[in-house]
Structure 1
Amino acid sequence: MSDRKFALAVAATGTAVLAMMPGAPTASAAVSELTVDPSLSVGMSTNYGTGCIHYLVARLSVGIVPVAFYDNGALLAVVNPTDGIATIPWVPSSTGGHSLVALQDGVGRGVDVSVGRGYRFGESCVVTGG
Structure 2
Amino acid sequence: MTGSIIRTTTAAAVGCATVATVAALAAPAAATGTRVGIDPGISFGLATNYGTGCSYAIDGIVDDPVTPVVFYDNSVPFAVANPSGSLAQAHWTPATPGPHRLQIWQRHAGAADVFPYVDIQVGTGLPTGSGCAVPG
TM-score with structure 1 setting the length? 0.77
For residues 124 and 34 of structure 1, what CA distance do their matches in structure 2 show?
21
- Percent identity, aligned pairs only, is 38
The answer to which of 48-57 and 104-113 deviates more is 104-113
More strand by share: 1
User: 1:26 maps to which residue?
Assistant: 28
Which segments of 5 or more consecutive residues in structure 1 lack a partner in the other structure? 1-14, 20-24
User: 1:70 maps to which residue?
Assistant: 72
Greater Cα radius of gyration, structure 1 or 2: 1
Which segments of 5 or more consecutive residues in structure 2 lack a partner in the other structure? 1-21, 108-112
Structure 1 residue 108 displacement after superposition: 2.7
User: 1:88 maps to which residue?
Assistant: 90
Aligned pair partner of 1:119 in 99, 123, 126: 126
User: 1:110 maps to which residue?
Assistant: 117
Q: CA RMSD in A?
A: 1.4
Structure 1 residue 123 displacement after superposition: 1.1
User: 2:40 maps to which residue?
Assistant: 38
For residues 53 and 39 of structure 1, what CA distance do their matches in structure 2 show?
9
TM-score with structure 2 setting the length? 0.74
